Protein backbone atom coordinates (compact mmCIF):
# COMPACT_ATOMS: atom_id res chain seq x y z
CA UNK A 1 0.00 0.00 0.00
CA UNK A 2 1.31 3.44 -0.91
CA UNK A 3 1.14 5.67 2.15
CA UNK A 4 2.50 8.77 0.47
CA UNK A 5 0.06 11.68 -0.21
CA UNK A 6 -1.15 11.87 -3.80
CA UNK A 7 -0.05 15.32 -4.87
CA UNK A 8 0.88 16.92 -8.16
CA UNK A 9 4.59 17.31 -8.96
CA UNK A 10 6.08 20.68 -7.99
CA UNK A 11 5.70 23.13 -10.82
CA UNK A 12 8.95 24.46 -12.31
CA UNK A 13 8.02 28.14 -11.81
CA UNK A 14 6.46 29.97 -8.88
CA UNK A 15 5.80 33.20 -10.80
CA UNK A 16 5.09 33.80 -14.48
CA UNK A 17 5.88 37.39 -15.51
CA UNK A 18 4.20 38.52 -18.71
CA UNK A 19 5.00 41.38 -20.99
CA UNK A 20 1.87 43.19 -22.20
CA UNK A 21 2.36 44.56 -25.73
CA UNK A 22 2.75 41.73 -28.22
CA UNK A 23 2.30 39.06 -25.54
CA UNK A 24 -1.12 39.73 -24.02
CA UNK A 25 -2.43 42.19 -26.58
CA UNK A 26 -1.66 42.35 -30.31
CA UNK A 27 -0.70 46.01 -30.11
CA UNK A 28 2.73 46.35 -31.67
CA UNK A 29 1.61 46.90 -35.26
CA UNK A 30 -0.88 49.52 -34.08
CA UNK A 31 1.58 51.41 -31.89
CA UNK A 32 4.39 51.27 -34.45
CA UNK A 33 2.17 52.56 -37.25
CA UNK A 34 1.26 55.46 -35.00
CA UNK A 35 4.96 56.19 -34.50
CA UNK A 36 5.56 56.09 -38.26
CA UNK A 37 2.88 58.75 -38.67
CA UNK A 38 4.45 60.89 -35.97
CA UNK A 39 8.17 60.53 -36.76
CA UNK A 40 8.41 60.02 -40.53
CA UNK A 41 7.75 63.74 -41.27
CA UNK A 42 11.05 64.43 -39.50
CA UNK A 43 12.93 61.44 -40.96
CA UNK A 44 11.46 59.63 -44.00
CA UNK A 45 13.60 56.61 -43.13
CA UNK A 46 11.31 55.84 -40.21
CA UNK A 47 9.18 53.18 -41.90
CA UNK A 48 7.33 50.42 -40.06
CA UNK A 49 10.26 47.98 -39.90
CA UNK A 50 12.67 50.69 -38.73
CA UNK A 51 10.29 51.76 -35.99
CA UNK A 52 9.85 48.17 -34.85
CA UNK A 53 13.57 47.52 -34.69
CA UNK A 54 14.11 50.66 -32.68
CA UNK A 55 11.25 50.70 -30.20
CA UNK A 56 9.81 47.22 -29.59
CA UNK A 57 9.94 46.53 -25.88
CA UNK A 58 11.32 49.96 -24.99
CA UNK A 59 9.67 52.70 -22.91
CA UNK A 60 8.09 55.82 -24.41
CA UNK A 61 11.08 57.88 -23.28
CA UNK A 62 13.04 56.34 -26.18
CA UNK A 63 10.57 57.90 -28.62
CA UNK A 64 10.68 61.27 -26.86
CA UNK A 65 14.48 61.29 -26.96
CA UNK A 66 14.49 60.58 -30.70
CA UNK A 67 11.87 63.26 -31.35
CA UNK A 68 14.02 65.80 -29.50
CA UNK A 69 17.09 64.73 -31.45
CA UNK A 70 15.25 65.02 -34.78
CA UNK A 71 13.69 68.40 -34.08
CA UNK A 72 16.40 69.95 -31.96
CA UNK A 73 13.87 71.04 -29.36
CA UNK A 74 12.33 69.61 -26.20
CA UNK A 75 9.21 67.52 -26.63
CA UNK A 76 6.28 69.64 -25.55
CA UNK A 77 3.33 68.50 -23.49
CA UNK A 78 1.31 68.89 -26.68
CA UNK A 79 3.49 66.37 -28.52
CA UNK A 80 2.98 63.74 -25.83
CA UNK A 81 -0.73 64.51 -25.51
CA UNK A 82 -1.38 64.28 -29.26
CA UNK A 83 0.68 61.09 -29.62
CA UNK A 84 -1.19 59.36 -26.80
CA UNK A 85 -4.57 60.52 -28.07
CA UNK A 86 -3.85 59.12 -31.54
CA UNK A 87 -2.50 55.88 -30.11
CA UNK A 88 -5.33 55.29 -27.64
CA UNK A 89 -7.94 56.00 -30.32
CA UNK A 90 -6.34 53.34 -32.51
CA UNK A 91 -6.27 50.88 -29.58
CA UNK A 92 -9.93 51.46 -28.80
CA UNK A 93 -10.78 50.87 -32.45
CA UNK A 94 -8.56 47.96 -33.46
CA UNK A 95 -6.85 46.26 -30.50
CA UNK A 96 -7.36 42.53 -29.96
CA UNK A 97 -5.92 40.04 -27.45
CA UNK A 98 -3.23 37.69 -28.64
CA UNK A 99 -5.02 34.50 -29.59
CA UNK A 100 -5.37 31.96 -26.80
CA UNK A 101 -4.05 34.14 -24.01
CA UNK A 102 -7.09 33.98 -21.71
CA UNK A 103 -7.32 30.20 -21.74
CA UNK A 104 -3.58 29.91 -21.10
CA UNK A 105 -3.48 32.35 -18.19
CA UNK A 106 -6.54 30.81 -16.57
CA UNK A 107 -4.76 27.45 -16.67
CA UNK A 108 -1.61 28.67 -14.91
CA UNK A 109 -0.74 26.66 -11.83
CA UNK A 110 1.41 29.44 -10.38
CA UNK A 111 1.20 33.11 -9.51
CA UNK A 112 1.47 35.52 -12.43
CA UNK A 113 1.72 39.24 -13.16
CA UNK A 114 2.38 41.80 -15.89
CA UNK A 115 5.67 43.71 -16.15
CA UNK A 116 5.48 46.16 -19.04
CA UNK A 117 7.48 49.02 -20.53
CA UNK A 118 4.20 50.89 -20.91
CA UNK A 119 2.72 53.22 -18.29
CA UNK A 120 -0.25 52.28 -16.13
CA UNK A 121 -2.84 54.17 -18.18
CA UNK A 122 -1.81 52.53 -21.44
CA UNK A 123 -1.69 49.06 -19.85
CA UNK A 124 -5.19 49.47 -18.44
CA UNK A 125 -6.62 50.76 -21.74
CA UNK A 126 -5.12 47.80 -23.58
CA UNK A 127 -6.23 45.16 -21.10
CA UNK A 128 -9.75 46.55 -20.86
CA UNK A 129 -10.15 46.73 -24.64
CA UNK A 130 -8.86 43.14 -24.96
CA UNK A 131 -11.24 42.02 -22.16
CA UNK A 132 -8.35 40.82 -20.01
CA UNK A 133 -8.53 43.37 -17.19
CA UNK A 134 -10.25 40.95 -14.80
CA UNK A 135 -7.24 38.62 -15.02
CA UNK A 136 -4.61 41.24 -14.25
CA UNK A 137 -6.08 43.95 -12.02
CA UNK A 138 -3.76 44.25 -9.02
CA UNK A 139 -1.01 42.27 -10.79
CA UNK A 140 0.55 45.06 -12.88
CA UNK A 141 4.10 46.42 -12.79
CA UNK A 142 4.87 49.39 -15.02
CA UNK A 143 8.24 50.76 -16.06
CA UNK A 144 7.25 54.02 -14.36
CA UNK A 145 8.10 52.34 -11.06
CA UNK A 146 11.79 51.81 -11.79
CA UNK A 147 14.68 54.06 -12.71
CA UNK A 148 15.88 51.89 -15.59
CA UNK A 149 13.51 50.23 -18.01
CA UNK A 150 14.14 47.16 -20.12
CA UNK A 151 16.72 45.91 -21.15
CA UNK A 152 17.80 46.55 -17.55
CA UNK A 153 16.50 43.88 -15.14
CA UNK A 154 15.00 46.35 -12.65
CA UNK A 155 11.33 45.91 -13.55
CA UNK A 156 11.41 42.12 -13.45
CA UNK A 157 13.31 42.14 -10.17
CA UNK A 158 10.73 44.52 -8.69
CA UNK A 159 7.90 42.21 -9.74
CA UNK A 160 9.62 39.15 -8.26
CA UNK A 161 10.40 40.94 -5.00
CA UNK A 162 6.88 42.26 -4.51
CA UNK A 163 5.30 38.89 -5.38
CA UNK A 164 7.68 37.22 -2.94
CA UNK A 165 9.44 34.92 -5.42
CA UNK A 166 13.17 34.38 -5.97
CA UNK A 167 14.32 35.37 -9.49
CA UNK A 168 15.45 31.82 -10.22
CA UNK A 169 11.87 30.61 -9.72
CA UNK A 170 10.44 33.09 -12.26
CA UNK A 171 9.51 32.59 -15.89
CA UNK A 172 9.30 35.64 -18.16
CA UNK A 173 7.31 35.52 -21.41
CA UNK A 174 8.47 38.17 -23.87
CA UNK A 175 8.29 39.08 -27.55
CA UNK A 176 11.12 41.62 -27.67
CA UNK A 177 14.90 41.49 -27.55
CA UNK A 178 15.04 44.08 -24.78
CA UNK A 179 12.58 42.06 -22.70
CA UNK A 180 14.49 38.80 -23.07
CA UNK A 181 17.75 40.62 -22.28
CA UNK A 182 16.18 42.06 -19.11
CA UNK A 183 14.87 38.68 -18.01
CA UNK A 184 18.22 36.97 -18.38
CA UNK A 185 19.98 39.83 -16.61
CA UNK A 186 17.53 39.28 -13.74
CA UNK A 187 18.51 35.62 -13.51
CA UNK A 188 15.15 34.37 -14.76
CA UNK A 189 14.05 31.85 -17.38
CA UNK A 190 12.87 33.58 -20.56
CA UNK A 191 10.47 32.21 -23.15
CA UNK A 192 10.15 34.04 -26.46
CA UNK A 193 6.63 34.25 -27.88
CA UNK A 194 6.17 34.87 -31.60
CA UNK A 195 2.36 35.00 -31.63
CA UNK A 196 1.87 38.70 -32.35
CA UNK A 197 1.07 39.92 -35.86
CA UNK A 198 4.21 42.09 -35.86
CA UNK A 199 6.34 39.00 -36.46
CA UNK A 200 4.97 38.97 -40.02
CA UNK A 201 6.62 42.36 -40.57
CA UNK A 202 9.79 41.87 -38.53
CA UNK A 203 10.68 38.27 -37.76
CA UNK A 204 12.78 38.37 -34.59
CA UNK A 205 12.63 34.69 -33.69
CA UNK A 206 16.35 34.10 -34.11
CA UNK A 207 17.13 37.42 -32.48
CA UNK A 208 15.15 36.38 -29.40
CA UNK A 209 17.17 33.17 -29.16
CA UNK A 210 20.40 35.09 -29.68
CA UNK A 211 19.40 37.45 -26.86
CA UNK A 212 19.18 34.44 -24.54
CA UNK A 213 15.62 33.11 -24.76
CA UNK A 214 15.59 29.61 -23.29
CA UNK A 215 12.70 28.47 -25.51
CA UNK A 216 10.74 29.90 -28.42
CA UNK A 217 7.01 29.38 -28.84
CA UNK A 218 4.64 30.22 -31.68
CA UNK A 219 1.39 30.38 -29.71
CA UNK A 220 -0.14 30.59 -26.27
CA UNK A 221 -1.49 27.10 -26.80
CA UNK A 222 2.08 25.78 -26.98
CA UNK A 223 3.07 27.62 -23.81
CA UNK A 224 -0.01 26.36 -21.97
CA UNK A 225 0.91 22.78 -22.82
CA UNK A 226 4.43 23.41 -21.55
CA UNK A 227 3.70 25.02 -18.18
CA UNK A 228 0.17 23.95 -17.22
CA UNK A 229 0.06 21.96 -13.97
CA UNK A 230 0.43 18.23 -14.38
CA UNK A 231 -2.66 16.28 -13.33
CA UNK A 232 -2.49 14.58 -9.96
CA UNK A 233 -1.91 10.82 -10.21
CA UNK A 234 -4.88 8.60 -9.48
Q: What is the C-alpha to C-alpha distance for residues 170 and 13, in angstroms, rounded to an integer?
A: 6
Do 46 and 154 fall into the same domain? no
What is the structure's pLDDT at 57? 80
Q: How many domains does the chain contain in total?
A: 2
Query: Residue 160: pLDDT band by 50, 70, 90 thresholds?
Result: very high
Domain, as residue range, for 115: 15-27+96-227
Do 200 and 121 fall into the same domain? yes
State pLDDT tens for residues 101-128.
999 999 999 999 999 999 999 999 999 9
Residue 6 falls within a domain, yes or no? no
List the helix and strand counts (H, then E) for the chain. 11, 6
Domain end marker among 69, 94, 119: 94
Residue 42 falls within a domain, yes or no? yes
Do 59 and 36 fall into the same domain? yes
Q: What angle do CA 80, 98, 129 make, to 5 degrees?
A: 50
Do 130 and 206 fall into the same domain? yes
User: Looking at residue 25, what DSSP letter applies?
Assistant: B
Mean residue pLDDT across the chain: 92
Bridge partners, residue 192, by sequence: 174, 216
Residue 140 falls within a domain, yes or no? yes
Do 211 and 136 fall into the same domain? yes
CA distances from 151 to 58, 59, 146, 199, 224 (A): 8, 10, 12, 20, 26
CA distances from 95 to 54, 121, 198, 227 (A): 22, 15, 13, 27
The CATH number of whichever domain residue 202 belongs to comes to: 3.40.50.1000
Do 20 and 130 fall into the same domain? yes
State pLDDT tens for residues 24-82.
999 999 999 999 999 999 999 899 999 999 998 888 888 999 999 999 999 988 999 99
What is the structure's pLDDT at 59? 84
pTM greater than 0.85: yes
Q: Is the pLDDT of residue 156 over 80?
A: yes
Do 160 and 128 fall into the same domain? yes
Do 114 and 179 fall into the same domain? yes
Mean pLDDT of 125-137: 98
Mean pLDDT of 127-145: 97
| Nearest of 161, 193, 203, 137 to residue 21 by alpha carbon | 193
Residue 164 falls within a domain, yes or no? yes
What is the structure's pLDDT at 222? 96
Do 83 and 174 fall into the same domain? no
Residue 5 falls within a domain, yes or no? no
Amino acid sequence: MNCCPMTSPRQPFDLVILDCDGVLVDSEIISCRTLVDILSPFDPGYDLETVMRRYLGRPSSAVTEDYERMTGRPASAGFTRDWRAQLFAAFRSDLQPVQGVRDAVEAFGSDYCVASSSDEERIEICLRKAELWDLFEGRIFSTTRVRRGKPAPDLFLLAARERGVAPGRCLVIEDSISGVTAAKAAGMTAYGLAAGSHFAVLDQRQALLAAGADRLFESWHEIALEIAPAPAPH
